[in-house]
Each structure stands twice: as structure tokens, then as C-alpha cells.
Structure 1
Amino acid sequence: MMQQKKFTGKVYLKKGQTIHVKIKRLGINGEGIGYYKKKIIFIPGALPKEFVKAKITESNRNYAKAKLLEIVEKSSQRVNPADHYDVGGIELEHLNYDAQLDFKRDVILQALEKFKPRGYEKIELRKTIGMDDPYHYRNKAAFQVRMTKTGKLIAGLYKPESHHLVDLPTFETQRKLTLEIIRKTLALMEKWHVCAYDERTNKGTVKTLVVREAFATKEAQLVFVTNERFIAHASEIAAELRNEFPQLVSVMQNYNPGKTSLVYGDETTRIFGRDYIIEKLGDVSFKLSARAFFQMNPIQTKKMYDEVKQALNLKQGEILVDAYCGVGTIGLYCGKEAGLVLGMDVISEAIADAKENAAMSGIKNVVYEEGDAKEIFAKWEKAGQKFDALVVDPPRTGLDDETIEVILRNKPKKFVYVSCNPSTLARNLVSLVSKYDVSYIQPIDMFPQTARTEAVVKLDLRPE
């Protein structure tokens, strides 16, 4: 007698298979999440409460990914997006803005529920601070440059999970001037026969065009990121660009040869004008060199720094440490009342800019050092340097364990954590709440139309 196979309850989906799914919620990357016979399905472009038709693009043991084919039942929160490109950076453009703000608060809540730092259920998680106009806010464009099979130069972003470049003559979250400079630069490259980089052969000159615009001064900077040291007719191109765009005060070249995932190399030289542009937040000026980090949304940046300043509530004479200081933005904006601001960053150009930014604004109560946060902390600790307040604005990887140990040993009374990644924030809080209580978390929408969210977290040292 033949023995029948026991049903295991597992669902096997084939690539290319068409399914119908009810969407339950949004994932942390803004994709729709549904379940097909209890298997989780990720469908970019789908929204909660929608019933959709989708085609399986990737099938794994515990989950599958699918492409949205048809919306059978549409969400009331769906809107017509301003852009219709299949690229990153606009993954929530089809969701109305109020719902985007709710989602960004919910992503932080999901992270807290996943990592469960002590007392997380009682943390005050405030409503997300949004924008009046959630478009035209990106002050910087970094577009890859390639040549099509027909010989046309294009510049834009890659399709998700691919190396297919999408030409972006328009992009509604981007500042108009940055796009205009990129399009004119492409035309001049064609005119002067400047070659684009070819990934297949690892030959060609221009890899990336980076344009940054200062909101306050209207100054702009163009950076050619190149595979070769020499750019043919670079001075002629710069001169023509300057004639059309008087705002363009800086044209630079960054040498970054070979295949690499990094946008910039280590060597930057000037083609025309200054090495920097100047931006302002409030009454503080910031000199921005080509590789210097500065938030891409100055309007929301001021709101965020106002939140940091309020949370720190610095008093006369207090010592503030500005970790991951970049060009000095947070410390200079928030630390005027402090007796001393100590800043640190790993990028030498950023530290140089921070020092000049302080000088430009007449701020003298600052000291900056180049180096890794944990190493500088250890150096200061060994020298007996105490501090009253701390603000950290780490990269998406969050604080490393050694830096957290230094913080917990020094126990600054005032502590503000600026986060750009809810997951690493929640994971760091698991350790930090051993000595701190989380007073509140204030989400801020720095990147409308995307799934990214930032937050200002006020931590209070518990009495021993």
C-alpha cells in the first residue's frame, strides 16, 4: 500500500506565478505586505487595505517578493504620484502625505516593539513633524552618468536592485536648479565629446554628477566624479556653465577610479571658482566643501535642530560634546549658550569646514578633532575631560558598543540622540536605558515621499 505524503502546510510559489493578495500593512521600506496562504509577500507600490494582483519575482522558504500588476480594490489613501519613475527615493509618492507621516511614526513604534528596550511601552512617541510642501526639498543630486546604445548621454538613478539607469530630466523632490545644471552639463559633455564611464569595460571619464544648492545663499556647486584624472575641455565646460548659471560658484573634480560602490574617492581638485559654497541655518553660516555632509533638506533641518536645542536646554558654562559633528552644524546651531563645544568626525575636510564655520559665525567656544568617535572619547576620558551634555548623530549603523560604553561610564546629564534609522536606534536604546530614561521620541520627516524617517530622542539620566 502506497504511503501518502503528509501535508506540511508550506506554500511553494514559482517565479512568474500570478497571485491575488490583500495588503495588511507597509514594511519598513514602504512596500506593501500581504499574506498568501500564510506566506508573507512583499509588494512595492501596494498600500494597506488594497486587494491587488501581483506576479512573483522572487520566492524563498519563508517569504516572497512580487511585482504589482493591478489594483483590484484601491485604498482611499492612494494619490496620483508626481513622478512615474521606477527608482528609489519616491517609494511612498503614491501615499497621501498625512498617511506618510503616520507611517513614519509607526516605523519607529515597530522598531521599539521588536527590540523591546526597557520601558518602551511607556515612551512618549510624538506625531511626525512634516512639511507644508513635501516636494522640491532636496538640495543635492548625485546622478550617475552613462551613454545609451544610441550614443545619448543620460543621468539619473538606478532601478531598485538593478544596474539599469533611469534618465531623470525631472524629479519632483529635487531642487529645480540642481536638475537644470545637470541637464546643461550633459549637453556640454556631448558638445565637447567628454566620455561617460562604462561599467562593463571600466573605461570612460565621468561617472557621476553631483550638484548641491544652498537654500539661503542660492549658491551652487558642481562636482564631476571621474574614473580618469583628466577631463577634456573641463575649463571650457565650466566657463559655459558659469555664463548660464551665475549661482554656480564652484566646479570641482573628484577622482574615484575603478568599480566601487562609493560615490567619492579621496582626491578632490578645483576646476573653477571656490572650493565650497555657503549655507545658513538661522544666524549660523556653514561652509560646504564637495565631500562635506550636510542634511539634504534645510527646511526640516532647522526644525530638527530647534528640537535638539530645546531638548538639550543648555545653560551658561555647560560643556557639550557634538559627536559625529560633520561640518559642525548641530554644535554650532545649538551650543552658543555652552561654555565649550567639543566636536569630532572621521572626515578631515568636515573638521576643517567645521573650524571655518565657527570662525565665519564668530563662535569661539568650540574645539574640533578628527577621528573615530570611540577613539576620541577614549582620548578625552584619559585626559580627564568631563562634559555635561551630549548630542550624537550617528550614521545609519547607529552607535557601536564601545561608544555606548563610554557614554554610560561618563553619564552626561543631558543626552540627545538624533537618529536616521529606527532599527539601530531601538537596538541602541536596549543598552542606553540601563542608565537613562527616554523622555520622548520626536519623529521628523526629512525625506518626504520616501520610507525614511529621522527622530530626535531626549534621554534623561536616572538618579543613582
Structure 2
Amino acid sequence: MSFSINRNDRLNVFVEDLTHDGSGVAKVDGYPLFIPGALPGEEVEIQVGKTLKNYGFARLLNVTKASPHRVEPPCHVFWECGGCQMQHLSYEGQLVQKRKTVRDVMDRIGKLPHVPVHPVKGMEDPWRYRNKSQIPFSEQDGKVVSGFYKSRTHHIVDTDVCIIQSEEADELMSTLKHEMHAIGLEAYDDKTHRGMLRHLIVRKGRATGELMVVLVTRKKKFPQKDAVIDLIKRVAPEVTSIMQNVNDQKTNVIFGNETNLLYGKPIIVDSIGNIDFEISARSFYQVNPIQTEVLYGQALEYAQLRGNETVIDAYCGIGTISLFLAQKAKEVYGVEIVPEAIKDAKRNAELNGITNAKFETGAAEVVIPKWYAAGKRFDVLVVDPPRKGCDEELLKTILEYKPKRVVYVSCNPGTLARDLRILEDGGYRTQEIQPVDMFPQSSHVECVALMELE
């Protein structure tokens, strides 16, 4: 830097952009400062905090000229809680910003300025969309607290309400917290490794109304168990499943290895479109079923299936995309490295009477060449990788066997852009990208990209 910015300096700056985690970006002589709470187009007063060689962080003191898209966050703990990043931005503004995020990384990382990025498909009602809540419990100053973690900390911001989760989760969180002491149940203390209740997980089948409650406890046996079950049934009489997961480790990981049924049945059922899914306490299942149908519908549209195609679903998970594709394809082959997910996928195929979807456990870059060696040929490949993007070996496998169409479902625009560039250099052409807002009020955006072999 040819100038000096020091900790505690007060500056007036213009906010140019947002980071991937929702912080405003201002530049002082080319030096970026990240400002939580600031929005693009605003003039703000800030106080400099931490400064590093290439960028720094600052605290928002005052907004001197506000964005027309700035709104009052409806959540009373928004400024403390790390669960949402963008409630202070109108929903229309969120969708515009998310499209810009995708456009920027396609230009900068993917070197794909010619590829159309469509407007983001958002929700009609962007609240109360989560069908799964994971709520930590603890004690602070002798009082039971529950809620969500403050950004970049392990400190629980205490609240009785979260307006992106279900009302049932709110009711259970609040009642359990306020009545725990009365029934003699202690919340877990991660510093002393004492107490009993670590987390409350609430899962709801939006299509069926079925409700699962999971208690994550430090020990299997606790004398208040029956009282807790009665409390849950009183608050949520529609509950169909109460499970206990035992985690006796001193760890930040939520689940332990042992899961037991306390009441009802061990699974609930939900539907996406006309496909039913059985969900257990630890199943992976998309948290926004309304937008999941939009996302998978887009993947199906890009796959352009006419009934005679053979399709690969890499990173198939519990078979959600595979079963959508199987309704239109001749055959679908799903591969996933997690054995429990493949077991769920096979069960879900059976549940829906789908016989043209086959599933195999293993790494996609190992299993796919084995399928080709056995004489299988594939028309379309669908990938839905984790945030880190596709494994490098899988990208090499795609370029070696060259299915004529690749549909890439992504939860991270940055790694999507990187992988599209690699496939472009190998002979594919990206036709278009459709962003989908799976997580309103947060900075995350999912995308579906269509690639075709040149």
C-alpha cells in the first residue's frame, strides 16, 4: 500500500459490491475493506478493524446515503445472529445481487462473458421455508439459551423465533427452553462437557405434514426422558417421530453414532413433485422443498430427455435428482461415495415403484469408467457436487468419455465457474446458466448450468 490505513481509523467510503458472505466492499486507493451490514451504492461512515496485506475489515458506524433497497430486518436478532446475511436487503435486491454474483464469477473465474446468466428464480414467499432446524442448547449465566450461533463464533444468540424455519420448530424450541429447568433437564455445556441436551432437530414433511423431533443428548439414559416426550407431544400433537441421538464426544459435530427411536416411527415422508422420499434422523434432504422442485425441474429441462437416453447422476445422494430423471429417461445410473445414501436411494426408488434407476456406492471417477468398460454408453451426465465442486479426477473422466450433454447443479458459483472453464477447455460449450434462490435472506445461491459437447 502506498498509503496507510490503521486500526480504529474513521473513514467515509462508497460501497461498491457485496462479498459472497453478504459484507459490503469499499475500496480506499484500491485497498478493499469488507463491511458487514453495508450495501452496494451506499455512502457510509466506518471504523477500520483488522488490516491485512491485501484487504481489511471495518465496522459500520453510520449510513449517510442509503441504498433504495435497504429495508428494516424483520428479525429482532438479525444483527447478532449468523444464520442470515441479507435481511437488510429487499428480496428484489437480493435476487439482483445473487445474479450479479454469478455473472461476476463467470466473467472473472470462468472467462465466460458470452454465457447467458438468467434472472434468479426466487420464491413467492421467502420466509418460513426451512423444513429442517438444528438448534443448539446451552446455559449462560444460569439461564438456558437456545437459538443460533453468532457469525464466526460458538456463542449462541438466544431467541424464541426464527422466521425462516417452521412455526413448529419455534414452538418446540421456546417451550423446551423455558420448561427444561422445571423438569430437571440440563442443557449441555461445551466448556465443562456437562449437562444433557445438546441440540434439538426438527424436520417437517411439507407435503405430508409429518413431523420428526430429534433430541441430541450427551448420554443415552436420562431420567427426564418421559417428561420430555410428553412435553413434545403436548406442544406438537401432530408429531409422528421422536428420536434420540447420543453424542458423548467433546466436539462441535452435532450427531453421534447412535440413534434410537423414542416414540412413533423412525422415518417421516415428504414429496418433491410426485416423488416420495423417506427421511430418517440423519438423512440428507434439501431444506427448501418448494425451491428444490424448481431446481430439479430446471435440471430435468436442461437434460432434454425424450425417453431413450441413459443418464449418469454423479454425487446422487439419496437419489433425489435420479428419481426425477428416471421419469423421463430410459435408464439412470446413480453413484455416490456414502453407503448410507445409496441405501436410502434404493429404498426411495422402491417406494416410488421406479425400476429404471440403478445405484452404486463408490467414487464417480472410479465407478463411471467401470460402467463404460462393461459396455454402457451414456447420453447425459448430471453432477450435483458439494461446495468444493467436482473432484479433479471426475472432470478428467468426463473429458475422457465425453457424454454429449452435461447438466451441472451447483451450490457454489465460484467452483462452478472453475469447473466450467476446465470442461470448456476440454471441448464442451456452456449454453446457459439458471440461478435458483434456495436460501432466501442468506447470501447463498444455487445454479443449474447446461453444457454440450462441441
Q: Aligned residue for 1:112?
A: 106
Which runs of at least 4 in structure 1 moved beyond 4 Å after TM superposition?
none
Q: Larger deviation: 53-62 or 269-278?
A: 53-62
Does 2:165 align with 1:171? no
Matched position secondary structure for 1:223: strand
Alpha-carbon shift at residue 382 of structure 1 (Å) = 4.1
Contact kept? 2:83, 2:149, Cα under 8 Å: no
- Give the Å deviation of 1:188: 4.8
| Structure 1 residue 239, shift from structure 2 partner | 3.2
2:251 and 2:350 mapped to 1: Cα distance? Answer: 36
Say whether residues 1:305 and 2:299 are aligned partners.
no
Identify which range, 416-425 or 108-117, moves more after superposition: 108-117
1:206-240 CA-to-partner distances (Å, cap 9, x unmatched) read: 22211111110011111122333334332332233
Gaps of 5+ in 1: 1-7
Task: Find the counterpart in structure 1 of residue 404 from structure 2.
Answer: 413
Aligned match for 2:307, one of 300, 303, 316: 316
> 1:137 maps to what in 2?
129
Name which of 13, 26, 41 aligns with 2:6.
13
Amino acid aligned to 1:80: E
SS where residue 113 of structure 2 aligns?
helix
Instruction: Give how far 1:191 is off.
Output: 3.0
- Report the AA paired with residue 457 of structure 1: A
Return the alpha-carbon distance in structure 2 between the equivalents of residues 190 and 373 of structure 1: 50
Matched, 1:326 2:317: yes
Q: Give the residue type in structure 1 aligned to 2:86.
A: L
The equivalent residue for 1:390 is 381
Question: Alpha carbons of 1:298 and 1:291: their partners in 2 closer, same or farther (altered >3 Å)?
Answer: same
- Decide whether aligned partners of structure 1 residues 317 and 371 sit closer, same or farther in structure 2, where only a CA change above 3 A counts: same
User: Which one of the candidate residues 432, 437, 448 is aligned to 1:445?
Assistant: 437
Q: Is the 8 A contact 1:417 1:458 kept in 2?
A: yes
Contact 2:83 2:148 in 1 (8 A): no
How many angstroms apart in 2 are the aligned matches of 1:231 and 1:441? 52
- Deviation at residue 37 of structure 1 after TM alignment: 4.2
Contact kept in structure 2, 1:11 and 1:39, CA below 8 Å:
no
Identity %: 37
2:20 and 2:295 map into 1 onto residues whose CA distance is 22
Normalised to the residue count of structure 2, the TM-score between the two structures is 0.94
1:223 to 2:211 alignment: no
Q: Distance in 2 between matches of 1:19 and 1:231?
A: 55
Q: 1:297 to 1:53 in 2, by over 3 A?
A: same
Within a 5 Å distance, the mapping from 1:335-374 to structure 2 comes to: 335-374=326-365
Alpha-carbon separation, structure 1, partners of 2:220 and 2:418? 43
Residue number in structure 1 paired with 2:235: 244
CA deviation profile, 1:279-311 (whole Å, cap 9, x unmatched): 011211010111111111111111111111111
Residue 273 of structure 2: which of 275, 282, 288 is its match? 282
1:196: Cα distance to partner? 1.8
Q: Name the counterpart of 1:88.
A: 82
For 1:336-379, what per-residue CA distance to the aligned partner results, in whole angstroms no more than 9, with x for missing partners?
Answer: 12222211223333222222211221111121222333333344
Equivalent pair of 1:188/1:237 in contact (CA under 8 Å): no
Per the alignment, in what secondary structure is the counterpart of residue 174 of structure 1? coil
Match for residue 460 of structure 1? Answer: 452
Please tell me whether the aligned partners of residues 378 and 406 of structure 1 are also in contact (alpha carbons under 8 angstroms): yes
| Structure 1, 20-29 or 298-307: larger mean CA deviation | 20-29
1:227-282, CA deviations, whole angstroms, 9 ceiling, x for partnerless residues? 33334332332233124323211111223333334322333222222111100112
Do the aligned partners of 1:11 and 1:37 also contact (CA within 8 Å) in 2?
no
> Match for residue 38 of structure 2?
46
SS at match of 2:126: coil
Amino acid at match of 1:92: M
Amino acid in structure 2 at the alignment position of 1:26: L
1:201 aligns with 2:201: no
CA–CA distance in 2 between the matches of 1:397 and 1:58? 27
Aligned length: 451
The answer to whether the 8 A contact 2:326-2:354 is kept is: no
| Equivalence map 1:24-103=2 (5 Å) | 24-85=16-77, 86-103=80-97
Q: Secondary structure at the match of 1:81?
A: coil
Q: Deviations over 1:45-86 (max 9, x none)?
A: 101121212222312122111121211211111011111321
Work out the CA distance in 2 between the residues paired with 1:78 and 1:72.
Answer: 13
User: How large is the RMSD of aligned CA atoms in angstroms?
Assistant: 1.8
Kept in 2, the 8 Å contact 1:136–1:173? The answer is: yes
